[in-house]
């Protein structure tokens, strides 16, 4: 499975848009990009996944360029409750193996 690299931490302020970029240079043709959110003392929670171009749901947007070697999770107008660790993962089409990296620790300040 492709290894992912993302920033260790990011700071933001309430109301700002936050973009977290993840690189996955060795992504394979049948790999999907998936993002999870984890609050302290809780299990990770699925946010969004995509294969190419742009995916949007009620929580976030995911931008994937044509070469798919990176992806950007966009959180619009963050609030204090968005303070969490965000994990970028690559999963093979069959979906049965997920490898979590270190994640990005997002701190939203008032």
CB 94 to other proteins: min, Å: 9
- SS3 helix, strand, coil % of the chain, rounded to 5? 5, 50, 45
Determine which helix (DSSP H) or strand (DSSP E) holds 31, and give its type and residue range. strand 31-38
Closest CA to 36 of 14, 4, 65: 4
Pick from 18, 24, 60, 103: which binds other proteins (CB under 8 A)? Answer: 103
> Per CB under 8 A, does 39 bind other proteins?
no
Pick from 19, 56, 69, 100: which binds other proteins (CB under 8 A)? Answer: 100
Taking the least distance from each CB to other proteins, the nearer of 68 and 91 is 91
């Amino acid at each position: 499975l492709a290894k992912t690299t993302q920033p260790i931490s990011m700071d933001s302020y309430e109301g700002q848009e936050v973009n977290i970029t993840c690189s996955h240079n060795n992504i394979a043709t049948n790999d999907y990009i998936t993002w999870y959110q984890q609050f302290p003392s809780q299990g990770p929670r699925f946010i969004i996944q995509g294969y190419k171009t742009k995916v949007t749901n009620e929580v976030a947007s995911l931008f994937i360029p044509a070469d798919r070697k990176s992806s950007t999770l966009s959180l619009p107008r963050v609030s204090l409750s968005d303070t969490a660790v965000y994990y970028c993962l690559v999963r093979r089409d069959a979906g049965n193996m997920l490898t979590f990296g270190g994640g990005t620790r997002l701190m939203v300040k008032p």
